[in-house]
Structures are given as structure tokens and as C-alpha cells.
A and B are shown apart, each in its own frame.
Chain A
């Protein structure tokens, strides 16, 4: 990735907040709020894949919906292609949505069962008034089907005639119809069988190369995210705890949550598994209704310090950590790496 540092990012998300109000009783009296997304910041560079990982309820899908402005924001700023889109009215969002499209998780419920494939793929063109004459409309649909590896003569069929992997291809073709620059993929392969997952991942990567697409790739499967992403953000209970380049994150995970997450994935190699130390973290993700004070991870953190339950750490450049490296762009939200408290992993480094 030889991108100039000063190049304007495609998407800039700054201090994004999405809070849901909890109500009680007939009068819908507000009794509190769930901070589903609570101060998330990240940038997407042109042509890259940014992976967003985390366990269920961490706010990764809500972040995606908020970026598309399909979810009302509580606060924060979203800049897309250089324009602030945070305050745009729905009709002003319409041209923007041509540039950002979404691929959904479930290929069974995200396609209308009563529509033919060509109508599903062609609908965005109709909605945005891009279908000028019948012949070029048909030609465009055939071209899109061809791009995702579907035979154009399947275009009269209905979704139920397709397998999960083929349906996901239809969803991708629909997302490509408007020639977007950003595609948000929300768990695009998690509903698919292993052998089909690989086909869809390869397709997404091929399309990125051919069309120069930028992906925001949301998933809980770390090995899938590692495979496709250039940079990765790790979320925990509504906040990003670490952002790093793919190789950096997997070679030297900094946040204790990232470390635990990585060691929780069983590797497909019994010999390696037998020797690998398992760092199990205790407990489960707490309810986002009552998140722990300070750093949300502190009750489960094996390296917890006094400060962790009081102050929430900022997502910052790794300064005091054990791996001082000026080319390291990674950001981490952990007091261990904070110069005033930090001791990092230094004691374990020899």
C-alpha cells in the first residue's frame, strides 16, 4: 500500500456515537440508554479494505448502518469523498448512496423472493434513474452478472433457485450496479459453507482489484478478516480498542482484548495446537446497557491496573509500548501503552 500520507481518505469517521434510548412502561418513559457506538473514529483510504472485528453486540454493524446514514446518529462526524454527510437530508443522501453500497450477511432474507434476479440487480438502476433504454439496461444487468460469475441466462430465475453462495453473488452484483466507490460488507460470508466462503472472498478481492473498490469489511471471523483486510479495527462494547495493519495486528497484538481474541481462535493444525499456550479470558461480554466504568474491558482483562476502572483510555499511537517502531501506525486504547502509566509487556520481553 504505497499511499501518500496526505492523501484525502475516502471515508472519515470521527467520534461517531449511536445511542439507543431504553424506555419503560406505557408512557415510554426513558430509563437509560444503550451506547451501541460510543466514540468510534477511523479512516478508509482509497482502494483499501478496512476490517472491523468484534464479538456480537460490540457495535460493528451499527457503525456500518450509521456510516450509510441508515441509523440516526447521536453525535460525531462522517466525511465521505471529502464532503461532510453527517447533516444531509434524506433526499440529499440519495446521490451519496450511489457511491456507497452494502452487501448483507444473510443471502436468504436480503433478496426479495418474489423478484426475478434481473429485477433485483436492476432495481438500483431504476431507482436512481439510470435505466435509459431497455437494451442498455439489459446489457448492464448481463454485464453485472458476468462480473460476479453468474450466467446471464439465469436472469429470469427467482432467488430460491440459487444456492447460498450464488445468492451472495447476486447481492454483490446489486451492490455493484451503481458503480460505488465504497462497499460495506456486513458479515458477507458467515452464512456460507467453508468451501463456498473461499469462492466469495476471492470474488470480492478480484472485484476490488478490477474496479478499485474500497471495502469496509465487518466480520467476527478473524481468519477471514485477516485474509481480506489491509488494516483492521477491533471493537469492544461500542469502542475501537485497537487499529493496526493486518500483519502488525496478528504478529504483535497490543490490546489485551485483541491478544485474547487471537488466542481464542483454534488453528487448523493439531501439532501447533498442542503446543500453543491458550490465554482464555474469563467471563462474557457485559451487557451494553450497563457497561463497566473506565475501560470497558477491565473486568475481564488479565493485566488490569487501578487506573483502568476509572479512566477510559484514548485510542492513541503506541508510545510507551514494548515495540517502539516509528513506522508502526497502529493505534491502541489501553493504559498499558500510555506513557504516564504504561509498562506494556516490557517485563515479558527478554
Chain B
């Protein structure tokens, strides 16, 4: 693909070994990310958005298997690295921010230790220098009196503060890419707004690319440059954010957008719904995974899987749908 791509995922397929046999969580997924770009991956639970993120850093756990594909980061295929080599990339050139800041911070280590550790590990600094940088970072994420808080433990911090610490840790080694998996879902709205604005400012300043995984289409609209919509383990539509909201093509995207109650416009009417349930990954239909819920589905949809093709000759807007009369 294009040479200015920072991350290039090609034909990624991921499965999990479960009691019910092998379950395919991500199928034939390709996407690329430019330097400094913010890509949002949107989807409901079980759509494969988190698994995609975890696969990039090979954090799938014992029962996860990458069946197929290539994840090229700065030209290097992450999937062929040794465990030692991938460890050197994690937290250094690619950092991750998780949803639940309480369970992703170590409760028995001080905040100072946790923020300074990656600096010490990856940036060849001694402990005192690392602590100094930690104070700088914590100040940058607006933790008041950062120097005095180095010896505090995570339980001394509120949810929003913990997520600020996570962001400080992610920024510690000046990564090229940050993957944020539902970073504000556990937080209140006013704090969510603060954290996302902070993350957005910091990544913009440092030209860090960001993959933002979320189910909140409002968050996507505010911060993303580009969007990939996932359903049943596949990308069903991808486009620039403005284009996607103005001109959604895939029936799932259209339904998703129509089903959220807004804070503007008509209230109290019937919401447009997508009938049925999200698919069971262990028992996906043979054709398009959305066909069972799609009001436009025809025979082809039930037998074969549509390719992610450009919409109206626009190479940056792609939709995986056999098409339907409007």
C-alpha cells in the first residue's frame, strides 16, 4: 500500500479456541493508518474491534491464534517478531490505553514507579532521570502537584485521574502509535470530555497516530479523521469521518446512525431500530453476517460475502455490500 502508511494490516484473521470449537473473531481485515492520523474503529460488542487492536501488539492471550495476515508497522511485520522483539515495541513505539484504568494499573505499585518504568526500560535513562520525566508527563496530563503524587497508589486517584496516568504512561516513550480501547467508557461525561480533549491535543502536538476503539458515534464524530465500522469480525464500511456521517452506505452503518437518539432534532418519536441480535461468532451465517438483520438482503447476500469495494469510485470510501435499491 502507500509508502506513508505507519501501520498496514493486510488480510488479518484471528480465532479463539473455545469449548465450542474454534471461533473466528476477525476475518480478512485490512486497514492502514498514516502518521498522525486518528482512526476510529466502531462496532458493537463481539464485532472484533478489540481483538483487532490486541492482535496488533500480539496481546491475544493463550487461546487466541492469528491464523493469517500481516501487520506491518513502519515496514516491519509485527507478526513475525520474536516475543522479545515485540516486547521491545510494546510501550515504546506502540502504546496502549485500556478501558478500565483501575484494573490496568498495578494496585501495589506507586504511580511514580509505574510511569517511570517504561521510560527506564525503553529510553535508556537511570531511575532519577526517569522519575523526573514522569513528573513532566504527569504535569502534561494535568495532574496537579505531580511531584507530590509520585508516591501515591492508584486507589488514591479518581477514575478520571487514573485514566490521565494511563495516558501519561502511554506517552512516556513518545510512541508513533497509541491504541486506545474504549478509553472513556468507564468515566462520567464531563470527565470523558476532558480526557478525550487531552488525548486529542497531545497526539496532535506530537503527531502521534491514534486508533480509537469505541461504540460511541458522538466521540467518533468529534475526534476521528477516519472511521472503520466493524460487524461480525469484518470491516463493513470505512471512510473519512465527514464522508461517513454525510453519506453512509452500508445498511448496518445507516441503521446504527439512525438508532441513536440525538440531543438535537425531534425527540420522542420511534427510533429506527435494527431488528434482531448481533451475530453469534461461533455460528456466523454463510453470506454477509448482517444479512439476517438487513431489510435489503437478497439471495446473493445469504450465500457469498461481499468485498469491501470503493463507493462511487471514491477509493477512500469503501463498503462491503452487494448493493440495494434506494
Whether, in the assembled complex, B222 has its beta carbon less than 8 Å from a beta carbon of chain A, the answer is yes
Q: Please tell me which stretch of B125-133, B211-219, B300-308 contacts chain A, meaning at least 4 of its Cβ atoms lie within 8 angstroms of it.
A: B211-219
Closest to A196 in B: B277
Whether the pair B270, A205 counts as a contact (CB closer than 8 A) is yes
Flag A180-199 by CB within 8 Å of B: 1 or 0 each: 00000000000001111111
User: Do B215 and A193 have beta carbons less than 8 Å apart?
Assistant: yes
Measured CB to CB, the closest approach of chain A to B237, in angstroms, equals 15
Q: Is the CB of A55 within 8 A of B188?
A: yes
Q: At the interface, yes or no: A165 with Cβ under 8 Å from chain B?
A: yes
B106 located at the interface, meaning its Cβ lies under 8 Å from any Cβ of chain A in the complex: no
Secondary structure of the A contact surface, majority rule: helix
How many residue pairs at the A-B interface have CB separations less than 8 Å?
Answer: 134
**B-side contacts of A226, CB under 8 Å:** 261, 263, 267
Q: Output the least CB separation between B269 and chain A (Å).
A: 8
B72 to chain A, nearest CB (A): 29
Q: Are B219 and A194 in contact (CB under 8 A)?
A: no
Q: Scan residues 46-67 of chain A and give those whose CB is less than 8 A from a CB of chain B.
A: 55-56
Please, which residues of chain A bring their CB within 8 A of the CB of B268?
205, 227-228, 246
Q: Which of A267, A271, A284 is the one whose CB lies under 8 Å from B263?
A: A267
**Which segment of B77-85, B109-117, B148-156, B191-199 sits at the interface?**
B191-199
Query: Which residues of chain B are within 8 angstroms of A224 by Cβ–Cβ distance?
Result: 261
Give B252-267 interface residues, CB cut-off 8 Å to A.
255-257, 259-264, 267
CB contacts (< 8 Å) of A265 on chain B: these are: 189, 218, 263
| A55-B190 Cα distance, complex, nearest whole Å | 8
Residue of B nearest to A247 (CB): B267
**B221 near A267: Cβ-Cβ < 8 Å:** yes
How many Å lie between the Cα of A169 and that of B256 in the bound state?
Answer: 21
How far apart are the CA atoms of A246 and B260 in the complex, in Å? 17
**8 A Cβ contacts from B199-258 to A:** 215-224, 241-242, 245-246, 255-257
Q: Identify the B interface with A (CB < 8 A).
A: 44-45, 158, 160-161, 188-194, 196-197, 215-224, 241-242, 245-246, 255-257, 259-264, 267-268, 270-275, 277-278
**Pairs across A and B, CB under 8 Å, 26 listed:** A193-B44, A194-B217, A195-B255, A195-B278, A197-B260, A199-B275, A201-B261, A202-B270, A202-B271, A220-B189, A223-B261, A226-B267, A227-B268, A250-B267, A264-B190, A264-B192, A266-B196, A266-B216, A267-B221, A267-B222, A268-B262, A269-B245, A270-B222, A272-B221, A273-B222, A284-B158
9 additional A-B pairs beyond A194-B215, A224-B261, A250-B267, beta carbons within 8 Å, are A166-B277, A193-B44, A195-B256, A196-B277, A199-B273, A227-B268, A266-B196, A268-B262, A284-B161
